Amino acid sequence: MNSEDKTLVEIIGENKQIDLAKYINYVSAPQAGAITTFSGTTRDTFEGKTVVELRYEAYVPMAIRNLKSICSSARSSWDLHSIAVAHRVGSVPVGEISVFIAVSATHRADALDACKFLIAELKASVPIWKKEVYSNGEVWKENTEFLERRFKHGKDGSRCRRKIKTEARDIKGCCK
Amino acid sequence: MLLFPIDFIGASSFSAVALKEDNTLGILHQQVQVQFVINQVLRPIVNMKTKEDNLPAVQSVVKDGSFVQIKVLFFAKARDITGLTELSMEVSSGSTTQDCLNKLVAKFPNLDEIRQCIVLALNEEYTTESAVVKDKDELAIIPPISGG
């Protein structure tokens, strides 16, 4: 690995907003012609229900380890300069950012593709959970990316009670 | 009748609490010879055999490696079900993560609701149900994730 590779992974504690400028500054470099960022924000509705807030929790040491591993994978596929990933835990009200990714590269194709890969991988395998809180209840969410990927984590898919229909993108969760 | 001596008055009389056959208590004052007291009351007490020699040998508890201790972490729905964020568990040496999970479901039957959905992590890495746990391992119960 290039000794100049810069990767920053942080889990942000409760009630603290993500400092976007910090991470953009981190990945900025004279040789990087492109910086791509992704912000995941809490939206106000889900399937017609009004969302009050999202509440996140994480298996922090494993999440950090996992994210660093995903960043390494991205580097092996694209020519990147720096990567920064930050994810909040605790309550994230509507409109606020829960996850932020910044990637820099010499050329924009690498930066754009790597950024897309990083968020997809995060949603498929990093041990972070969110609970969607409505005015009349709350439910633990399940990422479809994870459900599709479960077989790779050592589970025998045939034992899952609910069928996963990937063609129709109609993926039913197991724990609901 | 049982006598419980409470006072010796001089050499020739004594007072005692008497437990009579009908289980009533009485106070007995007797003008008796000292020898009676020695023979009938004190000697039997002194001659009571101590049982220390008959105690079985204390078995020392030696860890002979047949059990291992692991830490189990519960997240999200799994924590809601068990009410715990973590617990310490002893399992026999050579147990797999599946054996550990079986033991957890036996202890928290409602975990069975999510058993088909969860994945396991051993020492911060995803693992299979056939992996063998070692002493001081950390096993995490991971319901479907939803980061991002």
Q: Return the DSSP state at A155.
A: -
Find the range with the poorest average confidence among A57-61, B5-9, B113-117.
B5-9
Give chain B positions within 8 Å (CB) of A65. 124-125
Strand ranges in B32-77 using DSSP code E only, listed in sequence order: 67-74
Give chain A positions within 8 Å (CB) of B105. none
How many helices (H) and strands (E) chain B has is answered by 4, 8
Nearest to A99 among B77, B80, B148 (CB): B148
The CATH architecture one would assign to domain A7-148 is Alpha-Beta Complex (3.90)
Taking the CA of residue A86 and the nearest CA in chain B, the distance in Å comes to 10
Nearest to B73 among A59, A87, A155 (CB): A59
How far is residue A123's CA from residue A129's CA, in Å, rounded to a whole number?
10
How far is residue A70's CA from residue A67's CA, in Å, rounded to a whole number?
5
How far is residue B24's CA from residue A13's CA, in Å, rounded to a whole number?
73
Provide the CB-side half-sphere exposure for A117 (13 A, CA): 20
Q: Confirm or reject contact between B113 and chain A (CB < 8 A).
A: yes
Are B90 and B104 in contact, with CB atoms under 8 Å apart?
Answer: no
Q: In this structure, what token pair is assigned to residue A112? A: 């754009």
Q: In this structure, what token pair is assigned to residue A140? A: 């633990």
Taking the CA of residue B69 and the nearest CA in chain A, the distance in Å comes to 21
Sequential pLDDT tens for chain A (176 residues): 454 679 999 999 989 999 999 999 999 999 999 999 999 999 998 888 999 999 999 999 999 999 999 999 999 999 999 999 999 999 999 999 999 999 999 999 999 999 999 999 999 999 999 999 998 899 999 999 999 987 665 544 433 434 333 333 444 566 65
Q: Confirm or reject contact between B112 and chain A (CB < 8 A).
A: no
Q: B67-142: which CATH topology?
A: Ubiquitin-like (UB roll) (3.10.20)
Nearest to A128 among B80, B114, B145 (CB): B145
Q: Where are the domains of chain A?
A: 7-148
- How far is C-alpha A1 from the chain's CA centre? 24
Q: Where are the domains of chain B?
A: 67-142
Using alpha carbons only, how large is chain B's radius of gyration in Å?
33
Taking the CA of residue A167 and the nearest CA in chain B, the distance in Å comes to 20
Give chain B positions within 8 Å (CB) of A131. 76
